[in-house]
């Protein structure tokens, strides 16, 4: 069965996210386990973790995915930011372990002009430190970035180089974001483009190591470097391109999570419905 979901809010309590996911029609869903816009956070209580796990068990929604907050930057040359970023990664792995969440998604960050190679070295060192400090049964998913200035991990080769530097390969896999890949210059709109794109990712990182798809349409053109998500089928990738992604034989069994807008044009349930429509178009 195809698993489709969205990113949902934890407002009120983290357990509330489960009900919101169910109301939207999710088979899977993604959260921030805490406020994503600040460094500070409160530790999870036993009551919070129990309520979340009870609600999740009753819902039969799986898997749940956690996403790192916005501020951490594992590629940063600024020592204070880097140390806080590593500490945030350690904390988030531990929070996933307490909540029974199997996957944690992280961007690889921005090197701020210090050079991609040095940025990758810092990311690798930070992940290794985090794995040494947080020995939980959580897989860290490295997400591709959109080709913005000074970004790390916009191309498959860079993501591979980071993964190869991680000492415990069993604890790291990949999340492919379609908007980010398209913005970084990977083509999805034609069968030929899909074949070339996935051949590159298969050669560099292995499609079998992609554990999650962030299925997002894009507001920017192919190769624009613009990290702006659009409703499914309403952006530059379009319905045909996203249908090709959804029907790729090596991806159909993966969870697909949309990080799309909620506005007057469409809500989360509408995007989930559109994904299911495109997944079976022409079949």
The runs of H, that is alpha helices, within the chain are: 16-24, 46-59, 79-99, 116-133, 156-165, 178-183, 191-204, 238-246, 268-279
Provide mean pLDDT across the span 216-239.
98
Q: Comparing C-alpha atoms, which of 154, 156, 142, 221 is closest to residue 184?
A: 154
Q: What is the pLDDT, as a whole number, of residue 283? A: 66
Q: Comparing C-alpha atoms, which of 164, 202, 171 is closest to residue 186?
A: 202
Provide mean pLDDT across the span 51-71.
97
Provide mean pLDDT across the span 163-189.
98
What are 115-136's pLDDT values in tens digits?
999 999 999 999 999 999 998 8
What's the Cα-to-Cα distance from 202 to each of 79, 164, 174, 194, 209, rounded to whole Å? 35, 15, 12, 12, 9
Mean pLDDT, all residues of the chain:
97
Catalytic residue IDs: 37, 67, 70, 107, 143, 177, 180, 214, 227, 229, 259
What are the residue ranges spanned by the domains of the chain?
3-279
Say if CB 167 and CB 140 are below 8 A apart: no
The position carrying tokens 């790291």 is 172
Q: Which residues contact 237 (CB under 8 A, 6 or more apart)?
A: 178, 179, 182, 188, 189, 217, 218
Q: Identify the band that residue 184 occupies on the pLDDT scale cut at 50, 70 and 90.
A: very high
pTM (predicted TM-score):
0.97
pLDDT above 80: residue 209:
yes
Q: What is the pLDDT, as a whole number, of residue 188? A: 98
Q: Which residues contact 231 (CB under 8 A, 6 or more apart)?
A: 217, 260, 261, 265, 266, 270, 271, 274
Q: Which residues contact 188 (CB under 8 A, 6 or more apart)?
A: 178, 181, 182, 194, 197, 237, 241, 242, 244, 245
3-279 belongs to which CATH class?
alpha beta
Provide mean pLDDT across the span 5-28.
98
Q: Identify the band that residue 94 occupies on the pLDDT scale cut at 50, 70 and 90.
A: very high
Q: What is the pLDDT, as a whole number, of residue 187? A: 98
The position carrying tokens 């930011």 is 81
Share above pLDDT 90 across residues of the chain, in percent, rounded to a whole number:
97
pLDDT above 90: residue 210:
yes
Relative orientation angle of helices 238-246 and 191-204, to the nearest 10 degrees: 50
């Amino acid at each position: 069965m195809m698993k489709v979901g969205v990113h949902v809010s934890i407002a009120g309590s983290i357990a509330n996210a489960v009900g919101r996911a169910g109301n939207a029609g999710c088979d899977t869903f993604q959260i921030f386990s805490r406020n994503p816009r600040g460094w500070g956070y409160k530790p999870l209580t036993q009551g919070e973790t129990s309520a979340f796990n009870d609600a999740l068990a009753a819902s039969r929604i799986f898997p749940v995915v956690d996403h790192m907050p916005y501020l951490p930057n594992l590629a940063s040359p600024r020592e204070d930011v880097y140390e806080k970023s590593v500490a945030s990664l350690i904390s988030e792995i531990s929070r996933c372990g307490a909540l029974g969440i199997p996957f944690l998604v992280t961007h690889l960050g921005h090197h701020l002009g210090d050079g991609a190679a040095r940025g990758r070295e810092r990311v690798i060192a930070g992940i290794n430190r985090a794995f040494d400090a947080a020995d939980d049964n959580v897989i860290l998913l490295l997400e591709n970035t959109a080709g913005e200035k000074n970004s790390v991990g916009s191309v498959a080769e860079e993501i591979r180089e980071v993964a190869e530097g991680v000492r415990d390969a069993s604890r790291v896999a990949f999340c492919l974001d379609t908007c980010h890949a398209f913005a970084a210059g990977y083509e999805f709109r034609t069968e030929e483009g899909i074949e070339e794109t996935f051949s590159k990712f298969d050669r560099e990182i292995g499609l079998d190591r992609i554990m999650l798809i962030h299925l997002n349409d894009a507001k920017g053109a192919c190769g624009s470097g613009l990290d702006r998500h659009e409703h499914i089928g309403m952006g530059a990738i379009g319905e045909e391109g996203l249908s090709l992604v959804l029907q790729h034989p090596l991806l159909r069994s993966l969870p697909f999570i949309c990080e799309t807008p909620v506005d007057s044009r469409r809500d989360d349930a509408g995007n989930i419905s559109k994904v299911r429509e495109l997944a079976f178009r022409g079949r």
